[in-house]
Amino acid sequence: MPCLIAAPCSGSGKTLLSLCLAALARERGLRLQPFKVGPDYLDPQLLSRVSGLSCRNLDPLLCGEGWVQACFHWHGSRADLALVEGVMGLFDGRGPGTDGSSAAVAHLLDLPVVLVVEASRQAGSLAALVRGFRDHGPPRVRLAGVVLNRVGSERHRALLAEALASLAVPLLGVLPSDPSLELPSRHLGLLPPGELPDLPERQRVWASLARRHLDLERLWPLLAPPLRGSVGEDPVRGLLRRQATPPAATLAPAATERLPVVAVARDAAFHFRYPEADEFLRGCGLEPHAWSPLADEDLPAGCRAVLLPGGYPELHAAQLASSRRSLGALGRAAAAGIPIAAECGGLLLLGRTLVDPQDRPHGMAGLLPFSARRGPLSLGYREATACGDGLLVRRGERFVGHEFHRWQLDGVADPGGLWQVEGWGSLCRSEGWSTPTLHASWLHLHWAGCPAIPSRMAAAAARSGPLSPSGGSSTPTKRAGVRPSSAGA
What pLDDT is recorded for position 257?
62
Is the confidence at residue 166, as pLDDT, over 90?
yes
Query: What pLDDT was estimated at residue 196?
Result: 85
Cis peptide before 2 (omega within 30 of 0): no
Q: What is the mean pLDDT of residues 150-168?
A: 93
Predicted confidence at residue 324, as pLDDT, reads 97
Q: What is the pLDDT of residues 273-331, one digit of tens each?
A: 999 999 999 999 999 999 999 999 999 988 999 999 999 999 999 999 999 999 999 99
Q: What is the mean pLDDT of residues 32-55?
A: 96
Q: What are the tens digits of pLDDT across the range 28-41?
A: 999 999 999 999 99
Express each pLDDT in 431-474 by its tens digit: 999 999 999 999 999 999 999 999 999 999 999 888 876 544 44
Contact 387, 416 (CB under 8 A): yes
Residue 113: helix, strand or coil by DSSP? strand
Give SS3 for 292.
coil
> How far is 159 from 170, CA to CA, in rounded Å?
14
User: What are the residue boundaries of the structural domains of the chain, listed by start?
Assistant: 4-230, 239-463
Q: pTM score, two decimals?
A: 0.92
Q: What is the pLDDT of residues 366-425, one digit of tens each?
A: 999 999 999 999 999 999 999 999 999 999 999 999 999 999 998 776 555 899 999 998
| pLDDT score recorded for residue 348 | 97
If one compares 488 and 142, the residue with the highest pLDDT of the two is: 142
CATH 3.40.50.880, applies to 239-463: yes
> For residues 380 and 95, what is the distance between their CA atoms, to the nearest angstrom?
8
Q: Looking at residue 187, what is its pLDDT? A: 66
Count of residues making up the chain:
489
- With a pLDDT cut of 70, the percent of the chain lying above it is 90
pLDDT reading at 230 higher than 70: no
* Cα–Cα dist 18/21, whole Å: 5
Please give the pLDDT value at position 396: 97
What angle do the packed helices 42-51 and 199-213 form, to 10 degrees? 80
Distance linking the first and last C-alpha atoms of the chain: 43
How do residues 324-368 score in pLDDT, each as one tens digit? 999 999 999 999 999 999 999 999 999 999 999 999 999 999 999
Residues that are catalytic? 344
Span 4-230 CATH architecture: 3-Layer(aba) Sandwich (3.40)
Whether the per-residue pLDDT at 9 is higher than 80: the answer is yes
Determine the pLDDT at residue 88: 96
Judging by beta carbons within 10 Å of its beta carbon (0-12, 13-18, 19+), is residue 29 exposed, middle or buried? Answer: exposed
* Sign of the torsion formed by the C-alpha atoms of 463, 394, 371 and 343: negative
For residue 73, the surrounding DSSP H or E stretch is helix 65-76
In whole angstroms, what is the distance from residue 446 CA to residue 399 CA? 10
Share of the chain above pLDDT 90, in %: 81
Residues 171-192 have pLDDT tens digits of: 999 998 877 677 777 666 778 8
Q: At what angle do helices 14-27 and 199-213 cross, to 10 degrees?
A: 90
Residue 475: band (very low, low, confident or very high) from pLDDT cuts 50, 70, 90: very low
Which range is least confidently modeled, 23-32, 91-100, 188-197, 351-360?
A: 188-197
Three-class secondary structure of residue 313 per DSSP: helix
